[in-house]
């Protein structure tokens, strides 16, 4: 883990397009501002973990779901006496 010290209004860059700014510091709480492209998901870790649990449960439910009722097999059509 990389540990950095930052002061109020100072920032950290992640790659070329993610910026984390120290917005406020109050006793034991630090508020961070995050600038990232819209296509990058940003979540608090507890929310991210809940999303992952939900996704795993949904995937397990989908794979454990009973197979659809078997369909009657289609039989080839018999040719009519006229050959059509």
| Per-residue pLDDT at 36 exceeds 70 | yes
**Is residue 66 in a domain?**
no
Q: Tokens in use for 71? A: 């369909």
For residue 26, what pLDDT is reported? 95
Distance CA 13, CA 36 (A): 10
For residue 68, what pLDDT is reported? 64
What is residue 30's three-state secondary structure?
Answer: strand
Distance CA 58, CA 56 (A): 5
Q: Tokens in use for 53? A: 């649990």
DSSP-assigned letter for residue 31: E
Domain hosting 20: range is 11-61
Distance CA 33, CA 50 (A): 22
* Minimum mean pLDDT range among 7-21, 40-54, 62-76: 62-76
**Is residue 18 in a domain?**
yes
pTM: 0.64
* Cα–Cα–Cα angle for 25, 29, 34, rounded to 5 degrees: 70
**Is residue 74 in a domain?**
no
**Is residue 42 in a domain?**
yes
When divided into structural domains, the chain yields a total of 1
**Is residue 76 in a domain?**
no
**Is residue 20 in a domain?**
yes
């Amino acid at each position: 883990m990389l540990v950095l010290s930052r002061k109020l209004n100072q920032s950290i860059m992640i790659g070329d397009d993610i910026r984390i700014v120290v917005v406020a510091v109050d006793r034991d709480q630090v508020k961070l501002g995050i600038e990232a492209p819209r296509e990058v998901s940003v979540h608090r870790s507890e929310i991210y973990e809940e999303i992952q649990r939900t996704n795993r449960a949904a995937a397990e439910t989908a794979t454990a779901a009973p197979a659809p009722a078997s369909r009657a097999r289609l039989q080839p059509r018999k040719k009519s006496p006229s050959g059509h």
